[in-house]
Amino acid sequence: MVKFYGTEVSSRLMLGTAQYPSPAILADAFKQSGAGIATVSVRREAGGDKAGSAFWDLIKDLGVAVLPNTAGCHSVREAVTTAHMARELFDTNWIKLEVIGHMDTLQPDPFALVEAAKILCDDGFQVFPYTTEDLILGERLLHAGCEVLMPWGAPIGSGLGLSNIYGLRSIRAQFPDVPMVIDAGLGLPSQAAAAMELGFDAVLLNTAVAKAGDPAQMAQGFAQAVEAGRMAYEADPMEPRDMAAPSTPVIGKAFLE
């Protein structure tokens, strides 16, 4: 059980809803994953005439919390406008805030991200910012009113996993009481387990499941990996050693001279 903005969520796995081969496969993947939150990209054209209403109905029928997303936004104004559309469409103050600054890596624009976060937090939104592992940026987002941080593991859709272990470990240690979600870049369940072993509270992914040969089976694999990683973290694992240490006691063992 994990809590975001005072709301408890049953699963530490969060799934996106894009790129699935069919609505039925999407629904099956969510069922097998047990995911507690679905992220949904809000398109500008869906605001006024409720275009795509069948898709919105499908998402609501999943029976999980919905986290609308400002994916594809490249400016403060665009992100804020999309967030307001999302609140009207889904009747929620939750918003995953993306303000993209670099087209090749889809890295967030740190300056626009903080500005948009401040505007939305002041307007009553509960912001989940897609950010990097930068400590100063994390601090600025918290000061802007965010109560959750979502650092990337690697560029969106890359499947590279955790590309900066040191940076992720540092931001987790710097803000120990802030809920944190690894968002983007995960390609394998083992990478999700590694994120949870670092002490992160949840993981969010999309492409690794949606583009798998069997999305439902991959979703189940990620669910089990997230659970295993969290259990390992809570068990207080042993520290790595540079030298071997025998697991079998040597006291009382016979020695030949």
- For the question of residue 96 being annotated catalytic, the response is yes
How do residues 103-159 score in pLDDT, each as one tens digit?
Answer: 888 899 999 999 999 999 999 999 999 999 999 999 999 999 999 999 999 999 999
The neighbouring-strand residues paired with 13 are: 203
- Residue 14: Cβ within 10 Å count: 29
Contacts of 96 (CB under 8 A, 6+ apart): 39, 67, 68, 69, 70, 71, 128, 129, 130, 150, 183
Choice among 3, 31, 96, 211 that is catalytic: 96
- pTM, entire model: 0.90
Q: Is 157 annotated as a binding residue?
A: yes
CATH of domain 2-235: 3.20.20.70
Q: Is 185 annotated as a binding residue?
A: yes
Q: Is 212 annotated as a binding residue?
A: no
Q: How far apart are CA 193 and CA 231, in angstroms?
A: 10
In the chain, where the domains are located = 2-235
Residue with tokens 């401040």: 118
Q: Is 207 annotated as a binding residue?
A: yes
CA dihedral 110, 113, 118, 119 (to 10 degrees): 140
Q: Which residues of the chain have pLDDT under 50?
A: 44-45, 47-48
Separation in Å, CA 152 to CA 78, 94, 159, 185: 21, 19, 11, 7
